[in-house]
């Protein structure tokens, strides 16, 4: 974690009266096949071009976020990856076009050993402090952004982790959710996905905590924040925002914390929200 609350590249910026717009990716900007419609893309590009502070806030890791930034034309600003575990500053003058300005790590040992006992057919992947992915059972996923290196389960226990992913090929979604509930995880923050999928971050770390740090340092009033998302890992973000918008296909638990509900991802719900800011 950064040593203090100052984030490079922010303190010398002039506070804006434009909106801070936090956008989830999967199920919000892109559908579950990873496709972004023209309507969503053009609307997002327009909001970026209008000068609003657009921040991608996603469970995806760095490598899987970069193509989304390109699609919406976001070259300057910030992106929150790994459910708040990693924050990027975007600037085309930088060698890579971005730099990591905050990374929050934790020990995954307790969570991993607990879940191995509780979750049938579990396979595990860990994003380490260097941005690498290590995984058991040939576990690969597009959200990693890079190819995971296969390792033995015990190798994961001592890794300095940013993000832990747990998936089961054997359990149903309901069985998986119950197994996670029965595991009684402590000392971490976690969100169960729409399939038999679990994302784990450091205790107290969410998209909302990373966004709040950026908001405060950018000098944007909370009333001028907008967030759009569809998953359980978006709940804190939707509560945090001045205007929290749930996607139409979101579960009731997500919709219940939102200020409003837009259309589903397949009906360009995010585009409708983005157009309302223009």
* Domain-located, residue 6: no
52 domain-assigned? yes
The verdict on 265 and 155 lying in the same domain is no
Please give the average per-residue pLDDT across 188-200, as a whole number: 74
Residue 104 near residue 81, CB atoms below 8 Å: no
Identify the CATH number of the domain in which residue 85 sits: 3.40.50.1000
Q: Show the CA angle centred on residue 172, arms to residues 237 and 109, nearest 5°.
A: 65
- Residue 187 belongs to what domain range? 109-202
The CATH number of the domain where 159 resides is what? 3.30.1240.10
Predicted TM-score (pTM) of this structure: 0.89
Domain tally for the chain? 2
pLDDT tens readout for residues 239-268: 999 999 999 999 999 999 999 999 999 999
Average pLDDT over residues 165-182: 79
Q: Which residue in 103, 67, 106, 78 sits closest to 214, CA to CA? A: 78
On whether residue 145 sits in a domain, the answer given is yes
User: Helix, strand, or coil here: 135?
Assistant: strand
Instruction: Dump pLDDT digits (tens) for 59-102.
Output: 999 999 999 999 999 999 999 999 999 999 999 999 999 999 99
**pLDDT computed for residue 16 by the predictor:** 44
Q: 210-235 pLDDT, tens per residue?
A: 999 999 999 999 999 999 999 999 99
Residue 179 lies in a domain: yes
Residues 190 and 212 in one domain: no
**Rg for the chain (alpha carbons), in Å?**
18
- Which residue, 177, 202, 227, sits at the end of a domain? 202
Quote the pLDDT of residue 11. Answer: 45
Above 70 in pLDDT, residue 190?
no
Residue 13 confidence (pLDDT): 44
| Residue 135 located in a structural domain | yes
Contact 22, 116 (CB under 8 A): no
pLDDT digits (tens, 9 = 90+) for 148-166: 999 999 999 999 999 999 9
Instruction: Check: CB of residue 101 under 8 Å from CB of residue 87.
Output: yes
240 and 260 belong to one structural domain: yes
Residue 127: inside a domain: yes
């Amino acid at each position: 974690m950064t040593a203090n609350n100052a984030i490079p590249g922010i303190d010398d910026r002039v506070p804006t009266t434009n909106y801070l717009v936090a956008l989830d990716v999967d199920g919000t900007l892109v559908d579950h096949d990873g496709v972004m419609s023209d309507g969503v893309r053009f609307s997002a590009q327009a909001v970026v071009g209008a000068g609003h502070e657009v921040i991608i806030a996603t469970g995806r890791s760095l490598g899987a976020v970069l193509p989304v930034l390109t699609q919406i034309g976001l070259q300057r600003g910030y992106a929150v990856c790994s459910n708040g575990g990693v924050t990027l500053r975007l600037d085309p003058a930088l060698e890579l076009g971005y730099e990591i300005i905050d990374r929050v790590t934790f020990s995954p040992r307790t969570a991993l050993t607990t879940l191995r006992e509780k979750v049938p057919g579990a396979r595990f992947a860990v994003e380490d402090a260097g941005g690498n992915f290590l995984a058991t059972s040939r576990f690969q996923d597009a959200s990693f952004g890079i190819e995971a290196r296969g390792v033995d389960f015990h190798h994961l226990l001592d890794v300095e982790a940013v993000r832990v992913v747990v998936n089961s090929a054997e359990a149903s979604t309901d069985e998986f959710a119950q197994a996670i509930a029965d595991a009684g995880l402590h000392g971490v923050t976690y969100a169960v996905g729409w399939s038999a999928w679990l994302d784990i971050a450091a205790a107290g770390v969410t998209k909302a905590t990373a966004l709040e740090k950026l908001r405060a340092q950018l000098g944007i009033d909370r009333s001028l924040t907008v967030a759009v998302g569809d998953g359980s890992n978006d709940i804190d973000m939707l509560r945090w925002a001045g205007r929290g918008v749930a996607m139409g296909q979101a579960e009731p638990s997500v919709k219940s914390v939102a200020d409003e509900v837009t259309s589903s991802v397949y009906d360009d719900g995010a585009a409708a929200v983005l157009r309302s800011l223009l």
